[in-house]
Each structure stands twice: as structure tokens, then as C-alpha cells.
Amino acid sequence: MTDDLDNDRRGFLKCMAWAGTGALFAFDGGIGSSIGLDSALAAPLKRASAQPFTFAQISDSHIGFNKPPNADARATFREAIAKVKALPNRPDFVIHTGDVSQLSRDDQFDDAEQMLKELGLPVFFVPGEHDMLDENGGKAFLNRFGKGSKGAGWYSFDHRGVHFVALVNVADLKPGGMGNLGAEQIKWLGADLAGRPSSQPIVVFAHIPLWTVYADWGWGTDDSAQALKLLARFGSVTVLNGHIHQITQKIEGRVAFHTARSTAFPQPAPGTAPSPGPLKVPSEQLHSMLGITDALFVRGHDRIALIDSTLTA
């Protein structure tokens, strides 16, 4: 699966003509191969190699959404998948940072799953709040996309020396609050990170931003500081989120935060509208609102490049 990857990182970055809705990530270091969640969870820690790899992030597909500005969120999701498939360097896997569905309906989850199968790649999920709306508060999502995960759907795995942590901050939300990880998950995170060398690159992904983008709209996670404290000793931490349907980024110390665009509809910039509801852009603008910003992170020995692109051809 990764044989065609270029060993030369610079050359690799040059040819990343990525055009998807999410972000594409490149790492140096590590060995191993891409695998599904079940086997990833069981895999031993593998570290240290010079071979780069990429993975792609897609987010907020909201399958089932059919209102302005996007009458068919399935169609734009299909376009995003086609963009991932067309990447010059095949990613080792894809992460979906939540809100797979609009209303947690089985047909919505199933459509998403069937469309993602076209990738022929492992896909790692975390739920968004729209994926928790079945009568059992997220069981439908977990049964389909979270096999082998713990609690409300959290897990971790290693890939080519990079440690990936999938966190859930949309379960058991508190009145008046924002996103929430909860004591049980934070305790698990502490145990998961314990004993790992501080030099190991860490990627954390979760649906709602793990830093406060805009509290008035609930765009943050109440107890994220406790999680970030556990991550503070690591030299390279990348936090990837969705939820807000636009790119925001921040670097704080050795932690890089980044949110991805949606494949379904844009949302307004913080505080620029009466509510965070869908931004009703004209149809000819929609595809460009599902992407446009390029970003490149260069980090010490474990640089991570992020390149966001749009659905425009």
C-alpha cells in the first residue's frame, strides 16, 4: 500500500497536489504498514524509520443534510472521496473527525460506509454530536465504526512510529457546557501515554476543537486542559478537529491545533453571524467554501505538513 511513497520528503511535499476537503499529513519516521482499527489496536509499538507517509482527514460529512446551501451532502462527500482517491501519493489511511451523519440514522451511516469503501483504505473514526442521536446515545455509530474502541469510542494506535489518539468529546455533554472528555477518558489517556518516549510524535483527533475557538457557540472542550497537560511533555503534538466547518489553526508551545473543513456545508466565522448554523452561500460558491486554505507545518525533527484544499476542480 505504501510502496509508491517517495522516500524523499522534500520531493514528496512538492508533489502533494492534494485537493480534498480535509487535510493531508506527512510524517517522517516509523515503520509498519497501515492497518484497520482492530489490528491497529492490537499492534505493538513500532518506531523509528526514515520513510514518510501520509494520511488524509475528512470531516463533517453530515450524510442526510439536504438544506441550503447543500441540497445533497452525499454528492459532495462522494466528491471528497474521489479527491482522496486521486491523490498522487496514496495515503496510508483516512481519519474521519465526526458528524458522519446528520441524524444518526442507519441509512445515513450505511451510505457513508459504502461510499468510504470506494477508497480501499482503512478509515478511523471519532463520533460527532450528530452521530450520537440514536435512541441509545451513540450505539449505532459505535457498532458500525467503533469496534474495539473503549468507552464512548476512544482508542489509540501506532503507525510508523507516530502514536494516534482518537478522543470522544461529544458524549454526556453538560448543560451550559461545551465539548466534554470526562474523567474516565482522561484517566485512560494518562495510562495510554504513560511510558511512551517524549520524542514520539503524537496525533490527537477528536470532533470538537480541543481548544476554545469560540465559547459563545460552544466551540471548545471544557476539560481539554487536563488532556493537554498529559500531552505537554511530548515534543510533537498535532491536534486535529472538525465540528466548526472551517479551517482554524493555532500553535501553542509544541502543540499544533488545526480544524478541517466540512464536506457538507460551511459555517460562519466565530461571532460573524447570529448563530453557527449553515452559511447559506450561493451554489456556485459552495465547493470553494468546502476548502481553499493551504497550510504547512514544519516541526523540528517530526515535521508535519498540512495542506488543506477545496472541492473546486
Partner 1 sequence: MTPAMKILTFQASALAVGTLMIATVADMAKAAPPPAAAVQIANFTFKNPVVTVKPGTTVTWTNADDIPHTVVSKDGLFRSKVLDSGDRFSFTFAKPGQFGYFCSIHPHMTGMVIVKA
| Contacts to partner 1 by CB under 8 A | 67-68, 102-104, 129-130, 132-133, 135, 173-178, 215-218, 274-278
Closest CA to 57 of 258, 235, 249, 270: 258
State the burial class of residue 290 (Cβ atoms within 10 Å of its Cβ: 0-12, 13-18, 19+). buried
Q: Where do the DSSP E strands lie in the chain?
A: 23-27, 53-58, 93-96, 123-125, 155-159, 162-166, 202-205, 237-241, 249-252, 255-259, 305-308
Where on the phi/psi map is residue 250: left (φ > 0), alpha (ψ -120 to 50), or beta? beta
Tell me how far, at minimum, the Cβ of 278 lies from partner 1, in Å. Answer: 5
Tell me how far, at minimum, the Cβ of 228 lies from partner 1, in Å. Answer: 21
Tell me how far, at minimum, the Cβ of 172 lies from partner 1, in Å. Answer: 9
Which CB, 68 or 88, lies closer to partner 1?
Answer: 68
Closest CA to 177 of 218, 227, 236, 117: 218
Which CB, 52 or 218, lies closer to partner 1?
Answer: 218
* The three cell numbers locating residue 307: 495542506
Tell me how far, at minimum, the Cβ of 57 lies from partner 1, in Å. Answer: 22
> Cα–Cα–Cα angle for 241, 119, 21, nearest 5°?
40
* The three cell numbers locating residue 94: 483516512
Tell me how far, at minimum, the Cβ of 129 lies from partner 1, in Å. Answer: 5
Tell me how far, at minimum, the Cβ of 145 lies from partner 1, in Å. Answer: 18
Residue with cell 520531493: 11
